[in-house]
């Protein structure tokens, strides 16, 4: 079986941009107001970051498949992804407010952290393929005034780890090891492999 488009179950404009970069046709399959999308991202006690990201991505997929069925949409593969930032075992998700964003960035400054992105794609006949990408990011030391200005720009909100690599925060990143697109939110190499496995044409 082959497919010529997929459903992207993600509100991230960066994931849309990255799929477009691959030349993948896609339609959005977003949660309705009746769904607790944020609730799916709750962290369990003593959960390792890699396990957390994989679990949340599978939970997002389950919700998306139910949504697809409930809305009676044309059958096509569904792609879900989740990204988190980890400092050791500590999971640094999206900031709750400006102070939370500042505290997160203060923790990252002058240290190395991991950016973990899980991707899963499922076909209408039940085939499922998943991948996990882990990249390492080195942050230079950054003074509090610079961090406050970045938080005031609004850029940290909605971002795991309170920053986006494609924003002005790039000026603080001295080194990355891994996948730039994975740090953005969708590792293109792994994603392309998964899509080929399920027969998507692009």
pLDDT at 38 over 90: no
| pLDDT at residue number 178 | 98
More confident residue, 39 or 102: 102
What is the Cα–Cα distance from 92 to 7, expressed in whole angstroms? 28
Are 60 and 39 spatial neighbours (Cβ–Cβ below 8 Å)? no
Q: What is the mean pLDDT of the chain?
A: 97
pLDDT at 37 over 90: no
Mean local confidence (pLDDT), 85-101:
97
Instruction: Give pLDDT tens digits for 142-197.
Output: 999 999 999 999 999 999 999 999 999 999 999 999 999 999 999 999 999 999 99
| Active-site entry in 4, 36, 46, 82 | 82
Are 4 and 43 spatial neighbours (Cβ–Cβ below 8 Å)? no
| pLDDT at residue number 1 | 83
| pLDDT at residue number 130 | 98
| pLDDT at residue number 112 | 98
What values do phi and psi take at 34, rounded to 5?
A: -80, -10
Mean local confidence (pLDDT), 99-110:
98
| pLDDT at residue number 93 | 94
* Domains of the chain, each with CATH number or no CATH: 6-197 (3.90.950.10)
CB 71: neighbour CB atoms within 10 A? 9
Instruction: Give pLDDT tens digits for 115-143.
Output: 999 999 999 999 999 999 999 999 999 99
The proportion of the chain whose per-residue pLDDT surpasses 70, expressed as a percent, equals: 100
pTM confidence score? 0.95
The model's confidence at residue 17, banded by pLDDT at 50, 70 and 90, is: very high
| pLDDT at residue number 144 | 98
What is the Cα–Cα distance from 73 to 109, expressed in whole angstroms? 45
190: burial class by Cβ within 10 Å (0-12, 13-18, 19+)?
buried
What is the sign of the dihedral through the CA atoms of 67, 189, 140 and 148? negative
What are the CA-CA distances from residue 132 to residues 29, 49, 158, 172, 194 (Å)? 22, 11, 21, 25, 11
What is the Cα–Cα distance from 63 to 70, expressed in whole angstroms? 10
The model's confidence at residue 79, banded by pLDDT at 50, 70 and 90, is: very high
Active site residue 82: yes
């Amino acid at each position: 079986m082959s497919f010529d488009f997929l459903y992207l179950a993600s509100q991230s404009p960066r994931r849309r941009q990255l799929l477009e970069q691959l030349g993948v046709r896609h339609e959005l399959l977003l949660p309705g107001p009746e769904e607790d999308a944020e609730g799916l991202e709750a962290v369990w006690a003593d959960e390792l970051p890699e396990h957390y990201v994989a679990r949340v991505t599978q939970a997002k997929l389950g919700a998306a498949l139910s949504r697809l069925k409930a809305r009676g949409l044309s059958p096509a593969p569904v792609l879900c992804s989740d990204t988190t930032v980890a400092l050791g075992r500590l999971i640094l998700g999206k900031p709750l407010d400006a102070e939370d964003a500042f505290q997160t960035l203060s923790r990252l400054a002058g240290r190395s952290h991991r950016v973990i992105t899980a991707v899963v794609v499922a076909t209408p006949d039940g085939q499922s393929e998943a991948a996990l990408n882990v990249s390492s990011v080195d942050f230079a030391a950054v003074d509090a005034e610079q961090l406050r200005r970045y938080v005031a720009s609004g850029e940290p909100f909605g971002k795991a780890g309170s920053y986006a690599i494609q924003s002005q925060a790039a000026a603080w990143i001295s080194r990355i090891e891994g996948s730039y697109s994975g740090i953005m939110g969708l590792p293109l190499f792994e994603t392309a492999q998964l899509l080929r496995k399920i027969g998507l044409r692009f």
